[in-house]
Amino acid sequence: MLLFVFYAILVWYGAFQGRRRVPGLCALALGIFALIVFNAVHFRVAQHFGYEQYVPIFRVLMYPYMVMVGLVGLFLVTLPIELPRGELHCKACRYDLTDLKAEFKEGAPCPECGATEEEAATRAGRRLARKRLHAQNKIKPDPLPGLRLRPER
Ligand SMILES: [Zn+2]
């Protein structure tokens, strides 16, 4: 029974993490779809073992549960992505560009992800910038570069 609680939390977590984006909707749709499949499979199992007359008792709980998972998930997936204060943000990584407005408008890249204004305007450009940022975050930091006596070869 506890499994239902964990399952709901898992679906809601996915919906919340991907909120206002396609992954969040996918997580919610997949979560509901899996419940529908589970419900159908359970009926088949009941038929096989000959207790299908008791299935409605289970469904009295199952259907409200599905509605609850769906409604709360829908609420979470539509929650706004909170933006830090500022009037201009990079559309790719949401970095606050308020103080760099003039430079950015002239075509300078975002210091966080390297996307220019025109790159950040298209979906493909934003994806590219996010990939670049992700790859950059995986590079290990240089250990104490200021303390090195000789440049490394
Ligand atoms: Zn950026």
Task: Give the Cα-Cα-Cα angle 79, 62, 23 (nearest 5 degrees).
Answer: 30
- The tens digit of pLDDT for each residue in 8-62 reads 999 999 999 999 889 999 999 999 999 999 999 999 999 999 998 999 999 999 9
Ligand 1 centre distance from Cα of residue 113 (Å): 4
Domain ranges of the chain: 2-77, 98-138
Nearest to 19 by CA among 77, 59, 60: 77
Distance 4 CA to ligand 1 centre (A): 39
139 pLDDT above the threshold of 90: no
Please indicate whether residue 33 or residue 88 has the higher confidence score (pLDDT).
33
* Ligand 1 midpoint to CA 58 (Å): 50
